[in-house]
Chains A and B, each alone.
Chain A
Amino acid sequence: MPKDHGIGASMKRREDVRFLTGRGQYTDDVSLHGQTHAVMVRSTVAHGRIRSIDTSAAAAMPGVLAVFTGEDFKDMGGNPAGWLINSRDGTPMREPKRPVLAHGKVRHVGDAYAAVVAETYAQARDAAEQLAADTEIEELPAIVDMAAAVADSSNRVHDEIPDNLCFDWGWIEDNRAKVDEVFKSAPHVTTLELVNNRLIPNAMEPRASIGEYFPGTGDYRLTTTSQNPHLHRLLIAAFVMGIPENKLTVVAPDVGGGFGSKIYHYGEEAVVLAAAKKLGRPVRWTAERSESFISDAHGRDHVTKIELACEKDGTFLAFRTATLANVGAYLSNFSTATPTFLHGTLMAGPYKVPNIYVNVKTVFTNTVPVDAYRGAGRPEATFSLERIIDKMCRELNLDPFEVRRKNFITPDMFPYTTPVGLAYDTGNYGATLDKAMEIGDVAGFEKRRAESAKKGRLRGMGLSTWIEACGIAPSHLVGVLGSRVGLYDAATVRVNATGNISVMTGAHSHGQSHETVFAQIVAEKLGVPESAVEIVHGDTSKIPFGMGSYGSRSLAVCGVAVTKAIDKIVAKGKKIAAHMLEAAEEDISFADGKFSVAGTDKAKTFGEIAFSAYVPHNYPLETLEPGLEETAFYDPANFTFPAGAYICEVEVDPETGKVDICSFACADDFGNIMNPMVVDGQVHGGVGQGIGQALLENTSYDENGQLLTGSYMDYAMPRASDVPFYTVDYSCQTPCTHNPLGVKGCGEAGAIGSPPAVVNAVIDALHRGGLTHVKHIDMPVSPSRVWSAING
């Protein structure tokens, strides 16, 4: 009988009721007395010099209250990059200033250079149109292609950066000579050039912000679509606007998905705050979807050459990669970490490969800034590895299942330090591969293939075995890797006088189910019903300083902080119980919601202890403080390392090139599981996005830097009919060794592991159909690309 509550139970989500009845409160649902409306004026050219902006006509239009341009913000700080990366020669990366509003130059289509605030949205929009007409921008040649950008110093995204290069990074530079040696003498070398396609995150809720200013106190409040309100506050206060941190409250109410794109601070947030102060009225801004396409940070966009050196039996000897990573027009907050420490350090995969060298050149272009998007760097690493391993297997006529198995790090080898700097604590990659082969019914494939063939369809099966480093934290590690912030998280557990509990978390839920799952953990640990536990998140005035939710870190970092705070509550409760029961503190034990004196029937319930804490009529105040509230900051010892094996089956229609996903099986090791239903959902969602990347989502710029896929008319989002029911399993569990919950994180898994499984399946289908000339197809593996590959 499965548990019906507490850790491990598939409890239904409490947050669902408000979402299902239309009572969610997203930023754009907030309506404030006296509010005004801001509209951004965005560049329609990819690269240009702003010659003049005449604001007079716009400012005189009906309802217009204020007009801002880059000039108004030029003395403010820039929006900073959170990670400092050094080039191979030791020089620090180039960090051009990213202003609130573009000043001097516009650097991508969508770059906001002015803002209009008016009484109504329609008036602001009308005036923004006027302002655009009254702006003279001298168009410059657009820098779009990365290779050309690096080769041509005459055309610069930032005038002070001659080769458009942010950095040229080697990982690990000391490995390089040895790796080159191995390649010279290797019995077999496989080479593959591939593109990891640029993606547009497309959280269904567009970004939105409301700025308020309270002149009586000098306080600001920003209500915004954020995955990490404290990070937003820190960036805006300390780096951009120079507001004292304690004078700014950032509230992220219900947030409609993030996938990375709402980690970052964007200029609109500073605009609404500055405008609110100037006008003395709330100022709101909500992106239209067409604005989201050209202003939300994009993801991926790597061009990679990867080489694999191996024995003739498929034993890996070395990997070597050279990647051009597009950073877009400006550095976004995580953008320098994504292609480096979230990518290069994962280039060992789950394999015992002795020699690895990774080179990444990160390039400025006249495109939307690129930053972390679900998986962030790890999907790129996994895709490169899993595609070239498959290619090698075909070249040497080896079984892709057995080659992977042969190269796996085995359970007896942990802890295992890879040549690219990570120390995996635990895992069992053979077990997840076995499980995937079972739930994916590999044995029955041939029969299904024959059935497909009768319909004129080519059936193929693709495998991907993946690993990631997540629970994005340990400050000591990320510090070594260049992070300018710490990456811990925090929780406060407040036991109220009446015995119910408020838990304030640094993590922010924008779909991840914290309100339900964190309550399960608290209920289990304190022996109270979940209904007595309230999870509070998303408001810097209420929560402790935590770093928010991304990088599959909510549970593995913040969830553990919750348990650490609970440990402190229990310790304090024991002190109170000892006092109340006139016993020694060390004789008090806590179980099932009761504090008991060992060897007696004397006990106090949790509720009695709580009440006593707030009615301390006879407390020995020198040794026992009133109250029952504790905060814990948790900074783990290491990343966590979830891993798994994914098997995808596809049918290819050779007449049209269309690929249909027939089945998708995921066997993952997430360590211990808190709520299976929620884990299922996380995997489904990740795989859905991975299938989107593999088959559908194409971000395309033309040579002038115009985004050709700027709406759902051309950017293909996965729909219900594009995906199957997935088969998900996480019964192979090697609990994380360094956190007390034994959890690893599951949010990004699906997006990391799935794209190569899909592409491998397509190539497999074509080869089994006799189309062996097709070695690779870049994502998205669209019908026209497949058809062209077949007929090319």
Chain B
Amino acid sequence: MTKVTMTVNGKAVSGEVEGRTLLVQFLREGLGLTGTHVGCDTSQCGACVVHVDGKAVKSCTVFALDVEGASVRTIEGMANADGSLGTLQQAFQDHHGLQCGFCTPGMVMTSAALLAENPKPTEAEVRDYLEGNICRCTGYHNIVKAVLAASGQDVSAVAAE
């Protein structure tokens, strides 16, 4: 076992891990942050997306030891300081961008990364950026709508209101 230290949602944390311990395992089992989910074993579903030093990564496909010293942000760190939903989270609720909720943490984290890079994405850009996040419930309609709305764009013309 090796000691690993990092900052998670603004707090310094450390723990003992094996070489093979994935970041997602460290978060879920080591820190009890179970909001980050595991939905596949081939790096495709995106349920495990977190931010490492501000960038979206699949935490099932990075070793905990490889992010030694990094700053990690998970879904648990996305709410406002007062505990209320952040803008993007609120848009997901307002536009019914989630059903079973399992893919949701990854969707929110990936979308947050998109909006950080591209504050006013087009519909096509949103869909393209979500390439690595699979949702089985929503048919993506309301996820895309929520992300567009969170970017401050008018989505009232989007079908099915």
Give me the interface of A with B, judged by CB distance under 8 Å. Answer: 12-13, 15-26, 28-29, 31, 122, 202-206, 254-257, 259, 288-290, 510-513, 677-678, 680-681, 683-689, 691, 711-713, 717-721, 723, 725-729, 750
In the complex, the answer to whether B160 meets A712 with C-beta atoms within 8 Å is no
Given contacts A22-B74, A204-B103, 4 further A-B contacts (CB under 8 A): A17-B85, A680-B161, A712-B40, A728-B160
One of A12, A683, A688 near B140 (C-beta < 8 A): A688
Q: Which of B38, B103, B160 contacts A680 (CB 8 A)?
A: B160
Contacting pair B100 A510 (CB below 8 A) = yes
A254 to B105, CA, bound (A): 14
B contact residues around A510 at 8 Å (CB): 100
Does the CB pair A290–B99 fall under 8 Å? no
Q: Which 3 A-B pairs have the closest CB atoms?
A: A22-B35, A688-B139, A256-B102
Q: Could you say which residues of chain B place their CB within 8 Å of the CB of A29?
A: 28, 34
Q: Which of B38, B135, B136, B158 contacts A259 (CB 8 A)?
A: B136
Kindly name the residue among B92, B104, B123, B130 whose own CB sees the greatest number of chain A CB atoms within 10 A: B104
Q: Does the CB pair A684–B160 fall under 8 Å?
A: yes
Q: Which residues of A contact B118 (CB under 8 A)?
A: none
Contact B92 A16 (CB under 8 A): yes
**Partner-A contacts on B (CB < 8 A):** 18, 20, 28-29, 32-42, 44-45, 47, 74-76, 78-79, 85, 89, 92-94, 96, 98-105, 108, 123-124, 126-128, 130-131, 133-145, 158-161
How near does chain B come to A492, taking the closest CB pair, in angstroms? Answer: 25
Q: Given the known A-B contacts A681-B99, A689-B139, A725-B158, are A20 and B42 also in contact in the complex, defined by CB atoms under 8 Å?
A: no
Contact partners of B131 in chain A: CB under 8 A: 719-721
Most chain A CB atoms below 10 A, which of B103, B140, B160: B160
Cα A97 to Cα B150 in complex, Å, equals: 53
The residues of B that contact A681 with a CB separation of less than 8 Å are 96, 99, 137-138, 141-142
Q: Which of A13, A254, A512, A719 has the most CB of B within 10 A?
A: A719
Instruction: Please name the residue on chain A nearest to B108 by beta carbon.
Output: A20
The answer to whether A727 touches B138 (Cβ under 8 A) is no
Q: What's the nearest-Cβ distance from chain B to residue A653, in Å?
A: 17
Q: Which residue in chain B gives the minimum CB-CB distance to A14?
A: B93
Whether B140 lies near A723 (C-beta < 8 A) is: yes
Cβ of A711 and Cβ of B96 under 8 Å apart?
no
Q: Is the CB of A721 within 8 A of B160?
A: no
Docked pose: A726 CA to B140 CA in angstroms: 10
Q: Which residues of B contact A677 (CB under 8 A)?
A: 96
Residues in chain B near residue A512, CB distance under 8 A: 99
Give chain A residues whose Cβ lies under 8 Å from the Cβ of B78.
Answer: 20-22
Known: A22-B75, A29-B34. A203 touches B100 (CB 8 A): yes
| B79 pairs with A713, CB closer than 8 A | no
Q: How far is the CB of B88 from chain A (nearest CB, A)?
A: 9
Partner of B42, one of A15, A122, A289: A289
A682 closest partner in B (C-beta): B99
Contacting residues, chain B, for A12 (C-beta < 8 A) = 93-94, 96
Cβ-defined partner of B160 (8 Å) among A23, A685, A718, A726: A726
Interface pairs (24), CB distance under 8 Å: A12-B96, A16-B93, A21-B75, A205-B102, A254-B101, A256-B100, A256-B101, A256-B102, A257-B99, A257-B102, A257-B137, A288-B41, A289-B41, A680-B161, A681-B138, A684-B139, A686-B139, A687-B139, A689-B139, A719-B127, A720-B126, A720-B127, A721-B131, A723-B141
Inside 8 A of B37's CB, which chain A residues have their CB? 26, 204-205, 256
Residues of the A chain whose Cβ atoms lie less than 8 Å from the Cβ of B105? 19, 22
B98 near A16: Cβ-Cβ < 8 Å: yes
Contact of A204 with B139 in the complex, beta carbons under 8 Å: no
Smallest beta-carbon distance B155→chain A, Å: 10
Q: Is the CB of A712 within 8 A of B42?
A: yes
Task: Give complex CA distance A255, B128 in Å.
Answer: 28
Contacts of A19 in B (CB 8 A): 98, 101, 104-105
Chain A residues, CB < 8 A from B38: 28, 206
Q: Is the CB of B103 within 8 A of A720?
A: no
In contact, A21 and B35 (Cβ under 8 angstroms): yes
CA of A490 to CA of B137 in the docked complex: distance in angstroms?
26
Q: Are A713 and B35 in contact (CB under 8 A)?
A: no
CB of B19, distance to nearest CB on chain A (Å): 11
| CB pair A720 B130 closer than 8 Å | yes
**Which among A202, A511, A712, A717 is the interface contact of B100 at CB below 8 angstroms?**
A511
Find the residue from A20, A290, A681 having the highest chain B CB count within 10 A. A20
Chain B minimum-CB-distance residue to A374: B136
Kindly state the separation between the CA atoms of A684 and B127 in the bound complex, as whole angstroms: 15
Contact of A725 among B29, B35, B102, B123 (CB under 8 A): B123
Min CB–CB distance B143 → chain A (angstroms): 7
Please name all residues of chain A whose beta carbon is closer than 8 Å to the beta carbon of B75 when the two chains form the complex: 20-22
User: Across the interface, which residues of A come within 8 angstroms of B136, CB to CB?
Assistant: 202-204, 257, 259, 685, 689, 717
**Chain A minimum-CB-distance residue to B140:** A720
CB distance from B25 to the nearest CB of A (A): 9
In the complex, what residue of chain A is closest to B106 when comparing beta carbons?
A204
The answer to whether B101 and A725 touch across the interface, beta carbons within 8 angstroms, is no
In the complex formed, the residue of A with least CB distance to B94 is A12
Q: Is the CB of B99 within 8 A of A511?
A: yes
- Nearest B residue (CB) for A201: B136
A199 CB, min distance to chain B CBs, angstroms: 11
Alpha-carbon gap, A711 to B44, bound state (A): 9
Instruction: Flag if B134 contacts A20 (CB, 8 Å).
Output: no
**B residues less than 8 Å from A203 (CB atoms):** 100, 102, 136
Query: What is the CB-to-nearest-CB distance from A5 to chain B, in angstroms, rounded to a whole number?
Result: 16
> A725–B141 contact, CB under 8 A?
yes
A779 to chain B, nearest CB (A): 17
Interface pair A289/B39, CB less than 8 Å apart: yes
Task: Decide: A23 and B35 in contact? CB cutoff 8 A.
Answer: yes
User: Are A31 and B32 neighbours in the complex by a CB distance under 8 Å?
Assistant: yes
CA distance A610 to B161 in the complex (A): 39
CB within 8 A of B45: which of A13, A204, A290, A720?
Answer: A204
Contacts of A721 in B (CB 8 A): 124, 127-128, 130-131
